[in-house]
Structure 1
Amino acid sequence: MTTPNVLDELEWRGLIAHSTDRDALRAALDEGSVKFYVGFDPTAPSLHMGHLVQVLTAKRLQLAGHTPFALVGGATGMIGDPKESGERSLNTLATVKDWVQRVRAQIEPFLSFEGDHAATMVDNYDWTASLSVIDFLRDIGKHFPVNRMLARDVVARRLEDGISYTEFSYVLLQSLDFLELHRQHGVTLQFGGSDQWGNLTAGAELVRRAHGGHVHAFATPLLTKSDGTKYGKTEGGALWLDPAMMSPYAFHQFWLNVEDEKVGELLRIFTFLTREEILELEAETAEKPYLRAGQKRLADEVTALVHGEEEVEHAKAAAAALFGGGDLATLNGATLGAALSEAGSIQVDRDQMPSLVDLLVETGLVKSKGDARRTVSEGGAYLNNERVADAERVPGEDDILAGGWLVLRRGKKSFAGVQVSGGRVPQESQGPHTAR
């Protein structure tokens, strides 16, 4: 049995920006288990925040009794959807194949591959690689009026500066995916981001023209900050899901620092909390914003979904310790290094260790040696959360934390890292926050 009115739930969570016939889509979702698909092009080695919206939407539909097909585009990833900023750099087949495997591995933990509504992973390279140019043009291209292709927003904006035939033709390849999945597996629903709406509707139209089938599509909204700019970017780049590209600490911090005005929206989209829980958090955020209850729950929930509960505890322990509320010695080197890299860090040689005065200046925590000495004399300088009494002190071996780190702090909130190179690097902590 499917959960009644799953479309209403998606709408309440703000996950429907556009759709084909809304009543027909609701009826299809209520009548029985719908086979649906969502596609991901491996144009980078990791998924990011925008992709996470799609992955979690697929999970919601599966939990409601519908059957997912997750497509990682080994073929479309060779080209890439047209960008407004200009032509993409084309990657090699070997690179794209590697990224296909990485992206698949990121998607798989979110879906169930067992039971009545088991998910299926597919790769459009399987049905595209052997397709001849003549067959592609005759069987697919003939269904695409050029005037309608030219009218697509991204194409129209690119025409002045130029767009290659390769990227211009991308819509045909993505539409072919819907047709193939409809023919082979009976897939009748596709969804994706609102920037894909032209591709989604083109795919539905191709199924109708080439196969006579009636299918559905919807698009999730583009996420924006309160000022209208796009979400998904940090000072270090995209909000990647791969912990090697963005540490779980930095990931947790991103969600912890979202604007009050956006907390409710992001809780709806990125968590599986109930309506009652979300409304309660929204009310608490509005009444007592200084507690940041919504942000804290959001950060914990999303980080747990992507990186696991253990990494949530690591991130919270690191933040507490860095701001003086915990023991730095219990942190493992990876978490400590990730946190300090986000804050800013310098590297020094173990055999030429500067004094604390010099370190405070070099890390940028103070502007001059005079400022450093004054900060120390006023009790505002800390080494590894211990107040510094001697400005000329040179840190020793016993001060070096796991991963070869020193933590300097000025006052309550300004801190920086010093990575010590050369010699023996201290072993990882064996305390409660040791990495797996």
Structure 2
Amino acid sequence: MNVYDTLKERGYIAQVTHEEEIRNLLEKEKITFYIGFDPTADSLHVGHFLGMMVMAHMQRAGHRPICLVGGGTGTVGDPSGRTDMRKMLTDEIIEHNCNRFKDQMRHFIDFTDGKALFVNNGEWLRKLNYIDLLRDVGPHFTVNRMLTAECYKQRMEKGLTFLEFNYMIMQAYDFMELNRRYNCKMEMGGDDQWSNIIAGVELLRRKYEAPAYGLTFTLLTTSEGKKMGKTAKGALWLDPKKTSPYEFYQYWRSINDSDVKKCLSLLTFIPMDEVNRLSSLKDEKINEAKKILAYEVTKMVHGKQEAEKAKEAAEALFTGQGTLENAPTIKISTEQLNGKLLNILVTNNILASKGEGKRLIQQGGISLNDKKLNDVEQLLTAADFNDGFCMVRKGKKKHYRLIFK
């Protein structure tokens, strides 16, 4: 099957610039394409993972990916989807984040023997002469057209800075430079990048009359249209130090029934016949599909060993079978023992605040050893520990093992 049809069948494709041309191109040629990643944090998150999956499908079909990190664009910050200006990052932080991205990308993309490239746009953007840039690409952009772009609309109310206004031009320049250096013919990105991608495609076609194409993939959202991959602690990170493999597994294990098909299609390589079978399961049986989803995604991101550990911990908590050793574990010190349980849970980041804890206790949302708390003053004592540990449940699905030795 043409990889374009694969991407379409699995629900990745949101918009394309030249559908029939792209489909024929991917059928007849092995092309070089790119996706850009701005280093706004020291880890990739689930939104990036979706892009890595698109890259992996393309690479499996014989096409060459360029993972472009924004050592240059990261100094400006993408205004797409923003109502405020992004925090300015130092050069040292940008370099550190780019290196972290490179390490993580190796889990999903094969960089051996030139099968994929890792490129930093700081190589050319930081060396650009401003007047040369204006003369080179400025004539191909109209301010009127740029101001209609979706990526700027949300910034217009509070004021779009001239710094951010340049971002589209920088991203378009990236496509032009990658085309010059590597014969890159296509840019891909999340659907919030549509305006920026069109700018690059049009620049190449106008300036060089070169074949250039753009494709956006759907954003990872729930069936209600909310952005997926957000947790109480923030983003769902791929770095195990920021989001533990167990938390990562539990996120996918606990998604809504209506989101199972979308997640299996976009975040795993499970054949679509099996995706359709799993997602058609009803009532309690749909949990089997969620377990498969959670295991497959965790295995890709954290490896088989960590996926097995997370699976065992989840089974132990929900069914009483398996080992609890891999459940999220908090060590209680001698000083904390006989203190208020509420304070201990806040100190160890199980609760965001005492206010949240009091509210959950009033709603019956916190349990100690399967007994609901009803007293915000309750103490944690040695009697609560059996074989050196006790279990705290927050809400319906979050379990924590407290150990005292």
CA contact (8 A) 1:35 1:68 kept: yes
* Equivalent of 1:312 in 307, 317, 323: 307
Confirm whether residue 400 of structure 1 aligns to residue 400 of structure 2.
no
Per-residue deviation, 1:359? 5.0
Distance in 1 (alpha carbons) for counterparts of 2:318 and 2:341? 18
Per-residue deviation, 1:44? 1.0
Distance 1:177 1:418, change over 3 A: same
Distance 1:29 1:408, change over 3 A: closer
Per-residue deviation, 1:416? 4.6
Per-residue deviation, 1:258? 1.1
Distance in 2 (alpha carbons) for counterparts of 1:129 and 1:361? 49
Query: Could you say which residue in structure 1 is the equivalent of 2:96?
Result: 98
Q: Which amino acid in 2 is paired with 1:97? A: E
Per-residue deviation, 1:290? 4.4
| Cα deviations by residue, 1:164-209 (Å, 9 ceiling, x for unpaired) | 1111110011111100011111110110000000011100111112
CA contact (8 A) 2:83 2:154 kept: no
Per-residue deviation, 1:84? 2.4
CA contact (8 A) 2:151 2:193 kept: no
Distance in 2 (alpha carbons) for counterparts of 1:123 and 1:392? 54
Query: Could you say which residue in structure 2 is the equivalent of 1:12?
Result: 9
Distance in 1 (alpha carbons) for counterparts of 2:278 and 2:151? 38
| Cα deviations by residue, 1:17-54 (Å, 9 ceiling, x for unpaired) | 00011000011001120111111010111111111111
Distance in 2 (alpha carbons) for counterparts of 1:43 and 1:149? 24
Q: Which amino acid in 1 is paired with 2:62? A: G
Distance in 1 (alpha carbons) for counterparts of 2:342 and 2:148? 58
Distance 1:120 1:414, change over 3 A: closer
Distance in 1 (alpha carbons) for counterparts of 2:403 and 2:4? 51
Per-residue deviation, 1:64? 0.6
Query: Could you say which residue in structure 2 is the equivalent of 1:181?
Result: 178
| Cα deviations by residue, 1:269-327 (Å, 9 ceiling, x for unpaired) | 100011221122122x2x34445122111101111000011111111222233346246
Query: Could you say which residue in structure 2 is the equivalent of 1:240?
Result: 237
- Which SS does the other structure have where 1:219 is aligned? strand
Per-residue deviation, 1:236? 1.3
- Which SS does the other structure have where 2:106 is aligned? helix
CA contact (8 A) 2:250 2:294 kept: yes
Distance 1:362 1:172, change over 3 A: closer
Query: Could you say which residue in structure 1 is the equivalent of 2:18?
Result: 21
Query: Could you say which residue in structure 2 is the equivalent of 1:303?
Result: 298
CA contact (8 A) 2:50 2:220 kept: no
Query: Could you say which residue in structure 2 is the equivalent of 1:126?
Result: 123
Task: Point out where structure 1 has 5 or more consecutive residues left out of the alignment.
Answer: 383-390, 421-425, 427-436
Confirm whether residue 190 of structure 1 aligns to residue 193 of structure 2.
no
Distance in 2 (alpha carbons) for counterparts of 1:360 and 1:126? 51
CA contact (8 A) 1:70 1:120 kept: yes
CA contact (8 A) 2:336 2:344 kept: no
Percent identical among aligned pairs is: 37
Distance in 2 (alpha carbons) for counterparts of 1:54 and 1:181? 18
Per-residue deviation, 1:141? 2.2
Distance in 2 (alpha carbons) for counterparts of 1:77 and 1:143? 23
Distance 1:137 1:257, change over 3 A: same
Confirm whether residue 226 of structure 1 aligns to residue 228 of structure 2.
no
Distance in 1 (alpha carbons) for counterparts of 2:73 and 2:144? 23
CA contact (8 A) 1:408 1:415 kept: yes
Query: Could you say which residue in structure 2 is the equivalent of 1:147?
Result: 144
Distance in 2 (alpha carbons) for counterparts of 1:282 and 1:351? 49
Distance in 2 (alpha carbons) for counterparts of 1:362 and 1:133? 56
Query: Could you say which residue in structure 2 is the equivalent of 1:42?
Result: 39
Distance in 1 (alpha carbons) for counterparts of 2:252 and 2:336? 39
Task: Point out where structure 2 has 5 or more consecutive residues left out of the alignment.
Answer: 346-356, 373-379
Q: Alignment length, in residue pairs?
A: 382
Distance 1:23 1:249, change over 3 A: same
Distance 1:275 1:88, change over 3 A: same
Distance in 2 (alpha carbons) for counterparts of 1:380 and 1:258? 23
1:74-93 correspondence to structure 2 within 5 Å: 74-82=71-79, 83-93=81-91
| Cα deviations by residue, 1:65-121 (Å, 9 ceiling, x for unpaired) | 111111111101111110422111100001000000001111122111235x71111
Distance 1:174 1:322, change over 3 A: same
Query: Could you say which residue in structure 2 is the equivalent of 1:432?
Result: none
| TM-score calculated relative to the size of structure 1 | 0.80
Q: Which amino acid in 2 is paired with 1:226? A: S
Distance 1:261 1:138, change over 3 A: same
Q: Which amino acid in 1 is paired with 2:314? A: A
CA contact (8 A) 1:143 1:206 kept: yes
Distance 1:30 1:263, change over 3 A: same
| TM-score calculated relative to the size of structure 2 | 0.86
Distance 1:395 1:186, change over 3 A: same
Distance in 1 (alpha carbons) for counterparts of 2:141 and 2:196? 12
CA contact (8 A) 1:381 1:409 kept: no
Distance 1:207 1:288, change over 3 A: same
Range moving further from structure 2, 77-86 or 99-108: 77-86
Query: Could you say which residue in structure 1 is the equivalent of 2:264?
Result: 267
- Which SS does the other structure have where 1:407 is aligned? strand
Superposed CA RMSD: 3.0
Distance 1:367 1:225, change over 3 A: closer
| Cα deviations by residue, 1:227-285 (Å, 9 ceiling, x for unpaired) | 221112111111111111111111111111111111111111100011221122122x2
Distance 1:413 1:244, change over 3 A: closer
